[in-house]
Chain A
């Protein structure tokens, strides 16, 4: 009890930086407000307006598709790479730096770089694909191609995060366990399935959980690459929110969108949270 005042600065910080702004956003979401206009209480009207807006539903669908596909692709590639690195690659340190490098690149720089590389008329990647008679990504015209490019870019940018978590967990698995399995006659697949994967599961769950929540905020990649176009067809929820708040200055619907984003991302991650809790409970027993 006497130690309580010592913890107060942390509570004050959390209260000031997270709790109070969150309540303010709740209040905003229940009011109609803009610059130079006094807020007017409208109840749940902003939530209804956002949820019934076809543009929001399209943005939500795009976001869910991108998040689910990108996060799981990232997980599969990250896991494969972690196992490859752990199996003993030549030039491991150099390769490690190469794999981690995208995480050091700012999102804006990355998008500018990718825009240049995949320029539909003069991009080096486009020209190379054309020279090899391979199909190119017509991302500035075809919405599905644009979403594919956004997905690839987001995987490239965030793969290091997933990879490093799984790789660290893989290195923490004692070699004796694999050795014992081999002595017992287990095949490589059985070792992976029965030893490696269960021991990596907590790290995979943590990585998935974080990535689900972060990926749902996906903004720069889509905004800087396509601006949500053509005709709002590649818009994601964060762009919808940005437009409401900073282009249309409609703070009520923007705040409501923010809370809907929180709810949906938690809903998407709920399965993994449940698995994580079960894991923690099992460990405690």
Chain B
């Protein structure tokens, strides 16, 4: 017979236990602080977990926890701007993309120079000055760069060998020829396209235009500064599509498809941030671990040795909304994440480091074989276009015309003329 009375749970005991738990919980929370961070998942991942948690000392020293709320890039920026527009926000730190802060948006964030003067970040001059300039709006520093994604050319060495290609391309013309040659059925029986590119990002047509010395919108707000170069870039993409070197599904290809197509051996070349190197060669995901290589995107033969390729770089920065509750804790977090130690740790975890010195670190060079080539590409890299209020609409218009040209629904010359005509009214005065 069991003695139920010993284990009987009365309503009174249950209520008392519940109350004690609530009070206990409240007391525990009252002891510590929580810093709410609005970011992309990747920003949380590179900070590590468990024993590899790069922020564990900071948590201990500040008796604070970090609560990440993560979104994909566009929804993240939308949420961040919404939060910063409220009377008050729970979020202390938000991750900001460098082509978003217009004057109006920048006004929603705390100027950080006074904090930097009072409680400086370790060796601030070591952080790439170009990236810092990108976060200085109307003379005010509103974000501390934390990550960059510089675009490089990735290729599947095994597929190139199968096609009888012994060395990767050194010019854009060679790239086009090799992409055509690798549009075949591989020995594994997989239909391969020479190159896979997403059609919903300005990065790729801009890279092709820059390979000929052109651009979409220059840093000094010149719209299509070299129309002939833009036409050459789009003509190249158009010819690749026509030759079957770009997939027929080009118009619906997304950024994630680029990764999976390269991992599965469905494409020989793609353009992605160098930080994707580890993922593309991950034995658990890729059919070609160790065979996917990266290099700088090549310029056209006419510019080889004369003009360096200006790869597209997208940078992220940490910002503090003006309406944040605990700005001191937020700045303390930013200082720690920007330290040399955490920058290196994040780089080893796959983050594009914003400190020039990080690339020289032997630990990073051992872990990341493309660190040196990434550093070279970063030296000449710049954003796809500068921030201005109608930048998103301008990008959408540009992509619409690019798609029409690449798919052969509009002559390239007309598409380039339409880009100029349609985007001009959106440009800042």
Contact = CB atoms under 8 A, between A and B. Distances in A.
B409 interface: yes
Interface stretch (A174-182, A192-200, A244-252, A273-281): A244-252
B392 interface: yes
Task: Bin the interface of chain B by size.
Answer: 35 or more
Contact of A231 (B390, B392, B404): B404
A229 B199 contact: yes
Nearest to A247: B392
Given A121-B191, A231-B400, A246-B75, A35 B249 contact: no
B203 interface: no
Given A227-B200, A229-B251, A247-B74, A35 B396 contact: no
Nearest to B426: A248
Given A35-B81, A36-B104, A231-B409, A243 B200 contact: no
Contacts, number: 82
Interface in B265-321: 266
A243 B191 CA distance: 35
A202 interface: no
Please name the 5 residue pairs, one residue from A and one from B, whose CB atoms are nearest each other, closest first. A36-B104, A230-B251, A140-B249, A35-B81, A231-B403
A243 B75 CA distance: 12
A227 B403 CA distance: 13
B424 interface: no
A120 interface: yes
A246 B77 CA distance: 9
B270 to A, nearest CB: 16
27 contacts: A34-B104, A35-B84, A35-B85, A35-B105, A36-B81, A36-B85, A36-B102, A36-B107, A120-B249, A121-B248, A122-B266, A139-B252, A141-B249, A226-B252, A229-B199, A229-B252, A230-B403, A230-B404, A230-B407, A231-B404, A231-B407, A232-B400, A246-B75, A246-B78, A247-B74, A248-B390, A248-B392
| Most B-side CB within 10 Å, residue of A37, A138, A229, A231 | A231
Contact of B252 (A227, A243, A249): A227
B393 A248 contact: yes
Nearest to A138: B248
Given A35-B85, A36-B105, 11 more contacts: A36-B85, A36-B108, A119-B249, A120-B248, A121-B247, A122-B191, A139-B252, A226-B251, A227-B252, A229-B403, A248-B393
B48 interface: no
B168 interface: no
Interface in B346-391: 389-390
Interface string B242-256: 000001111111100
Interface in B88-137: 102, 104-108
Contacts of B248: 120-121, 138, 140-141
A153 interface: no
A139 B249 CA distance: 8
A67 interface: no
Interface string A125-161: 0000000000000111100000000000000000000
